[in-house]
Amino acid sequence: MAYAIDTLVKAGGDDAHYRLLGAIQTLAEQVGWTTLRFDTSIPERELILRSTGTTGEEEITVGFKAYQNLAADYYNLLAATMVGYVPAAPFEAQPGIKSSGVPGHNQAVTYFLTANPRRIVGAFKVGSPIYAHLYVGKALAYARPKEFPSPLIVAGHFEGRDARRYSDLHWFPYKGRKGSGDSNYNDGHLYLRDAAGTWKKVQISPFGNGHANEVTYASLAGEYVGRSGSGNRCLVPAGTLHQPQPLELYDMQFGAYDNDVRGYPSSGNLYGVLDGVSFVSGFNNASENVLQLEGSAVIDQTSLSVRQAVDAIRAVNGRAFVVLQDGARTTWRDYVAVEMA
């Protein structure tokens, strides 16, 4: 278990997004990931990592690749999860690969990342600023271990290596299918590799709560701006203590109306839960707040940096959650908390 919070600047050296690859490698190796490829000799630098998971008997392969365009002024990382590794094959031709672009920057990037042997999760702060999230590795399946041994996830902001900039339209991956009523919403870019081996977008509770074709309704992280009615609400804390909620991956469909029962048949799957990232309300909250749960003392965070606050909370055996928003969005339902552990 490890976490890393820091700011990288170009400052005459490598571009900041290049340097991120090194930061990710350092973090991952601290928790037992091994580097299969780290090629800095090419313009689109590549990092491929493998872990044996928390059991020591698994094979989890993830990768990051820099992709940039000077004229279009974007400097991004492509996050990827694979089902194997072939040394002779190019990055994009690795077995079972699925990827999603994460907006970065060449001048400066602040990163909030945490890793364990199962996954790497966190976000970058770039530009104006926006917060760009990623998740590679495994989720935790709601199944006996041998029923669904490899619930692989890749999550970012773009469709593959989309030629977009951090300032373009995009969403963080955690709202999932039908998790937002924003115009042009693209269901986000979180992909689960299901038990049949298919990469697919899924619905994510509590941002989503409906069936496959319905925009979110009556969920804990419901849409409320400009709306009224009991189905359009968002979680707020009872007082000052926030209530982080698990991000659960599911799909659900209703069948044809059955007049005999005056209702609809339903079917679906509740696959599991993301590890290390939770929904948290944005009420009385802001990005880079550090929420403390548990611990022998409540840390006074006055004048502490994010990194210092996390360190202090963990030093009293507390749990530290860094609050991070969806891109540039800041309504109540636009935040997650990444637990730095």
Partner 1 sequence: MATFTGQVASFAALKTAIETTLSARGWALVNGILSKGVSFVQLTATATELRLQTGTGQAGAALTGACPQLVKLLSFTNAPIQWPAVYVLHVFDAPDEIYCVLRYNVDRHQHLNFGVSSMPQIGGTGLWCSGSFRGDVDGTRAGVKIYIDTNSGTQLGVQPYDGFGLGFFFASIAGTYHSSFIHCGLEGAPAWRTNVGGNTGDLLGVSHKAGLLHALPSQFNQATVLLPIDVLMARQAQGQTIVATLAHARYCRLDHLDLNAPLIYGPERWMAYPLHALHPVQRNGVGWPIGGQHTGTFGIALREVAP
Task: Confirm if 155 and 191 have CB atoms less than 8 A apart.
Answer: yes
| DSSP character string of 5-68 | EEEEE-TTSS-HHHHHHHHHHHHHHHTT-EEEEEE-SSSS-EEEEEE-TTTSS--EEEEEEEEE
Query: Any alpha helices (H) in 85-206, and if so which ranges?
Result: none
Question: Could you tell me which residues are beta bridge partners of residue 320?
Answer: 292, 340
Looking at beta carbons only, is 87 or 255 nearer to partner 1? 255
What does the alpha-carbon distance between residue 278 and residue 332 come to, in Å, rounded to a whole number? Answer: 14
Q: How many CB atoms lie within 10 A of CB 267?
A: 10
Find the shortest distance in angstroms from Cβ 174 to partner 1: 15
Question: Could you tell me which residues are beta bridge partners of residue 165?
Answer: none
Residues in the chain: 341
Looking at beta carbons only, is 126 or 192 nearer to partner 1? 192
Find the shortest distance in angstroms from Cβ 245 to partner 1: 8
Q: Is the dihedral of CA 162, 165, 168, 169 positive or negative?
A: positive
Find the shortest distance in angstroms from Cβ 279 to partner 1: 12
- Encoded amino acid at 160, one letter: G
The residues of the shown chain that bind partner 1, judged by CB under 8 A, are 142-144, 147-148, 194-196, 203, 205-206, 208-211, 214, 217-220, 222, 224, 227-241, 243, 248, 250-252, 254, 257, 260-271, 283, 332
Looking at beta carbons only, is 158 or 271 nearer to partner 1? 271
Closest CA relative to residue 225, chosen from 335, 332, 324, 336: 332
Find the shortest distance in angstroms from Cβ 271 to partner 1: 7
Find the shortest distance in angstroms from Cβ 249 to partner 1: 10
Looking at beta carbons only, is 12 or 144 nearer to partner 1? 144
Looking at beta carbons only, is 185 or 224 nearer to partner 1? 224
Looking at beta carbons only, is 87 or 146 nearer to partner 1? 146
Closest CA relative to residue 44, chosen from 8, 76, 11, 10: 76
Find the shortest distance in angstroms from Cβ 322 to partner 1: 22
Looking at beta carbons only, is 204 or 290 nearer to partner 1? 204
Q: Is the dihedral of CA 178, 134, 335, 250 positive or negative?
A: positive
Find the shortest distance in angstroms from Cβ 316 to partner 1: 18
